[in-house]
């Protein structure tokens, strides 16, 4: 054999040694897995024992009837139960028809009569059934487990809850008969519309006794427990009908009905089965939002209506009552007609806690109906300017309130932008542009800072936007926003730049005593200098600009108006929407007014476009009575500079430098004023040059509109209006030229949303919405339109 190669004997010996090594390795591996398995089983067993030890006691009283959840106000005082006694009718099992029992058993627990409380086969087969029969055809929990969960446990999808659920289900099966368990379940199960049990649901949905239900009605009810809201036949008849048909198919599969009975029952439209929906009201606008918010936070709806939760909210009953009174009566404002809609949200400026919601003007609105304060989506008009234009410019570029912007015609991608008064004013300060709601400076400000910066700034204030065009600077949003979102954004300006997500719930407490906090964490959305400088300019809007009608004597207040222009197809003077958003150091409110659909007969006339400001004024006045409201405090990051007769604000370190003087000898006391004048000589010279450029053409120097003379009949003249901050008179360059009385308000824009509360698609000839993909937008041109001869002249035309 050649040198270097092993002999056959040596080769076989090495091979045998390799096999022995592999065998040992395999044995060690198996032993390791076995030991790990034992340890894992031990850990799981230990955890299971711990979970079982912590399981709630089997309280018979909790099994017998559903527990209403209770809503508490901001002072932890009970406001109302989510469900009333009339929604809890209980009947014995022998009064519930077999077809009703079988409908629920078919879809919820087909082997109910055979398992001991846990159906292992059902758990494994649930996934297959959902694929075969359609999503939701079968769940993994037995009826006994569902009864336990409804009575004792939360709906959290955790191992702890599942272990406790299985343990308690076995105990329930050991203590009660199958018939007793089924009876308790059918009287306790939540079926939507705030109803518990089949007997109550039969009356609510069909207006009949449970004994009189037909197969189709029984199947409809049996399909509801999985998603009471999603399959609600009033709100989603198509989904409810599909779900009912799945239940009927399962009833046939399990031999409870024939194929003929199934087809006959499936042929009946759901709408024909239902009776007219009843109205139940109690702070509906607020409680509806509470329910929606809890669902958004992952709280199951069935849990809300059956497990006796204590829900501690942010509701201020006094503020809520005031809000509803202002909206639903003519005591404060005489609304034009019953179709005129309004939505209001009142927040705590410092915390974002919602104090009141005015979701409708009508007391007879159906509960869980459309909420104009939280569900509405409309273009915000000029209320967007602080969020989309001037706020980002101050934050990123550190512009001062005196930043000069040239107001001139601009054209972007073939779209010509104009101001609401069809005039241009040359170089204007950012303060003046905000005061009189000029469009061009806002567009230029956003273009200067960049659309991405504007998008990020708005996102930090709770207004997420997929894309941003120049039109967004003046409120020409693609999808619109709600008063709830706008109030949340504005509250950050009044809170030193700290944003708190608007919320109605502080915490919930389970029957076991477990608490769950739902208060969002504060976010520093902008610098304190940005918040204060925006606030200072918005105070000018209310005291001297387009928002004077919302001014409240003696109350430090900042705010902004906003309107959207009528489409060309509408003849008359008015707008599609009118907004006002404002705040004090204590409260923030956003108000929207308008119509569901914009037609020749239903649009906001000019004389009614001020109702948003009046709604704000009355609510803010009432809630501020008897409490001290301090003024906004200027942070160290801001400094004041007097320019002419106006105090302007600069970010610390960016103010114009004063001329340095060489002092040769001490000056006399009487020369101090002369020295001061010399120090600012250079700055004043520049300011005079800018002011000279800002002077309006001679033909525009008309008398400034007197807001007191133009107020509506129900608006008391403001005779106690305080002087401007610092006791200064308005600078000449901050006086608004007189305008034609037929000019429309603000930078009026079109809205183009199709949801309820929104106008339809943009009509032909609309001047305000850019073509798809266009970077242009709402020009806010206020072209003169013919007003019906019977309409009184507009009380003001300087709305922003």
Q: Catalytic residue positions?
A: 108, 382
766 CB-side CA count, 13 A? 25
Report the interhelical angle of 317-328 vs 611-624 (nearest 10°): 150
Q: Rounded distance, CA 614 to CA 607, Å?
A: 12
Mind giving me the DSSP string for 633-698? PPPTTEEEEEETTEEEEEETT-SPPPPP----SPPPGGGHHHHHHHHTHHHHHHHHHHHHHHPPPG
CB count, 10 Å around CB of 435?
27
Token pair, residue 337, equals 């007609």
CB count, 10 Å around CB of 691?
16
Burial 618-632 (b: 16+ CB within 10 A, else e): bbbebbbeeeebeeb
Under 8 Å CB-to-CB from 674, ≥6 apart: which residues? none
Token pair, residue 210, equals 């449970």
- Residue 72 φ/ψ region, left for φ over 0, alpha for ψ in the -120 to 50 degree band, beta for the rest: beta
Nearest to 342 by CA among 608, 713, 715, 538: 608
Mind giving me the DSSP string for 563-604? EEEPPTT--SSEEEEEEEEEE-SSEEEEEEEE-SS--SSSSE
Q: Rounded distance, CA 175 to CA 57, Å?
A: 13
Phi, psi angles (nearest 5°) of residue 753: -110, 155
Token pair, residue 686, equals 């520049």
Which neighbouring-strand residues pair with 650?
639
What is the 8-class DSSP label of residue 324?
Answer: H
Q: How far is C-alpha 405 from the geometric centre of its chain's CA atoms?
A: 34
Q: Rounded distance, CA 761 to CA 362, Å?
A: 26
Nearest to 328 by CA among 550, 90, 615: 615
3-state secondary structure of 687: helix
**Using CB atoms within 10 A of its CB, is residue 467 exposed (0-12), middle (13-18) or buried (19+)?**
exposed
Nearest to 286 by CA among 467, 137, 80, 41: 80
Q: Rounded distance, CA 447 to CA 768, Å?
A: 18
Token pair, residue 146, equals 């569902």
Q: Rounded distance, CA 756 to CA 602, Å?
A: 15
Q: Rounded distance, CA 410 to CA 502, Å?
A: 37
Cα separations in angstroms, 528 against 442, 577, 639 = 21, 31, 12
Phi, psi angles (nearest 5°) of residue 348: -80, 120
SS3 content of the chain, % helix, strand, coil (to 5): 40, 10, 45
Phi, psi angles (nearest 5°) of residue 331: -70, -35
Cα separations in angstroms, 596 against 120, 181, 561 = 53, 49, 20
């Amino acid at each position: 054999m050649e040198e270097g190669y092993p002999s056959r004997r040596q080769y076989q010996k090495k091979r045998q040694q390799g096999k022995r090594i592999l065998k040992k390795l395999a044995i060690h591996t198996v032993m390791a897995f076995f030991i790990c398995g034992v340890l894992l089983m031990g850990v799981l067993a230990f955890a299971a024992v711990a979970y079982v030890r912590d399981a709630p006691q089997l309280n018979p009283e909790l099994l017998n009837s559903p527990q209403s959840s209770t809503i508490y106000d901001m002072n932890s005082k009970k406001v109302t139960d989510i469900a009333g006694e009339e929604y809890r009718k209980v009947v014995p099992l022998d009064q519930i028809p077999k077809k009703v029992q079988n409908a629920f058993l078919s879809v919820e627990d087909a082997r109910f009569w055979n398992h001991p409380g846990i159906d292992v086969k059902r758990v494994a087969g649930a996934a297959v059934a959902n694929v075969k029969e359609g999503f939701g055809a079968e769940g993994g929990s037995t009826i006994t487990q569902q009864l336990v969960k409804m009575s004792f446990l939360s709906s959290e999808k955790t191992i702890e809850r599942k272990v406790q659920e299985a343990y308690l289900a076995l105990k329930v099966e050991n203590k009660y008969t199958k018939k007793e368990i089924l009876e308790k379940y059918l009287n306790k199960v939540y079926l939507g519309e705030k109803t518990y049990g089949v007997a109550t649901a039969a009356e609510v949905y069909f207006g009949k006794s449970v004994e009189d239900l037909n197969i189709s009605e029984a199947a409809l009810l049996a399909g509801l427990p999985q998603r009471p809201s999603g399959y609600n036949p009033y709100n989603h008849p198509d989904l409810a009908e599909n779900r009912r048909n799945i239940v009927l198919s399962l009833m046939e599969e399990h031999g409870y009905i024939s194929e003929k009975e199934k087809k006959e029952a499936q042929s009946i439209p759901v709408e024909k089965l239902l009776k007219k929906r009843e109205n139940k009201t109690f702070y509906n606008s607020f409680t509806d939002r509470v329910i929606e918010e809890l669902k958004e936070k992952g709280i199951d709806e069935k849990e809300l209506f059956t497990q006796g939760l204590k829900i501690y909210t942010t509701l201020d009953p006094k503020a809520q009552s005031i809000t509803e009174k202002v909206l639903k009566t003519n005591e404060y404002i005489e609304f034009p007609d019953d179709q005129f809609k309004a939505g209001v949200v009142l927040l705590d400026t410092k915390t974002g806690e919602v104090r009141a919601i005015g979701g409708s003007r009508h007391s007879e609105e159906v509960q869980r109906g459309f909420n104009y304060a939280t569900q509405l989506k409309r273009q915000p008009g000029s209320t967007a300017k602080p969020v989309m234009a001037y706020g980002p410019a101050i934050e990123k570029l550190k512009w001062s309130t005196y930043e000069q912007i040239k107001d001139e015609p601009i054209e972007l991608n073939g779209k010509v932008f104009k101001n609401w008064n069809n005039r241009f004013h040359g170089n204007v300060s950012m303060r003046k542009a905000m005061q009189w709601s000029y469009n061009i400076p806002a567009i230029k400000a956003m273009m200067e800072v960049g659309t991405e910066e504007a998008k990020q700034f708005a996102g930090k204030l709770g207004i997420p936007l997929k894309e941003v065009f120049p039109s967004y600077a003046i409120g020409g949003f693609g999808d619109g926003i709600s008063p709830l979102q706008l109030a949340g954004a504005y509250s950050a300006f009044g809170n030193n730049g700290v944003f708190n997500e608007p919320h109605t719930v502080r915490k919930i407490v389970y029957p076991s005593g477990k608490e769950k906090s739902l208060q969002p964490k504060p976010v520093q959305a902008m610098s304190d200098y940005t918040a204060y400088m925006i606030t200072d300019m918005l105070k000018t809007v209310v005291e001297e600009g387009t928002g004077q009608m919302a001014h409240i004597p003696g109350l430090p207040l900042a705010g902004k108006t906003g309107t959207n222009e009528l489409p060309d197809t509408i003849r008359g003077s008015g707008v599609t929407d009118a907004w006002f958003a404002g705040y004090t150091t204590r409260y923030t409110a956003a108000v929207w007014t308008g119509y569901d659909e914009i037609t020749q007969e239903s649009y906001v006339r000019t004389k009614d476009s001020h109702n948003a400001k009046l709604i704000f004024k009355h609510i803010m006045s009432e809630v501020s009575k008897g409490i001290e409201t301090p003024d906004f405090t200027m942070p160290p990051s801001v400094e004041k500079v007097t320019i002419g007769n106006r105090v302007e604000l600069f970010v610390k370190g960016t103010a114009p430098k004063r001329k340095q003087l060489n002092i040769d000898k001490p000056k006399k006391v009487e020369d101090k004023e002369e020295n001061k004048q010399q120090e600012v000589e250079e700055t004043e010279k520049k300011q005079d040059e800018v002011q000279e450029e800002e002077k309006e053409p001679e033909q525009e120097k008309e008398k400034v509109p007197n807001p007191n003379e133009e107020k509506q009949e129900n608006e008391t003249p403001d005779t106690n209006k305080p002087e401007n901050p610092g006791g200064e008179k308005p600078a000449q360059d901050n006086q608004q030229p007189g305008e034609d009385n037929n000019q429309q308000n603000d930078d009026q824009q079109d809205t183009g949303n199709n949801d309820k509360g929104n106008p339809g698609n943009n009509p032909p000839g609309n001047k305000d919405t850019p073509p798809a993909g266009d970077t242009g937008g709402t020009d806010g041109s206020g072209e003169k339109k013919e007003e019906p001869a019977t309409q009184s002249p507009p009380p003001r035309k300087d709305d922003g």
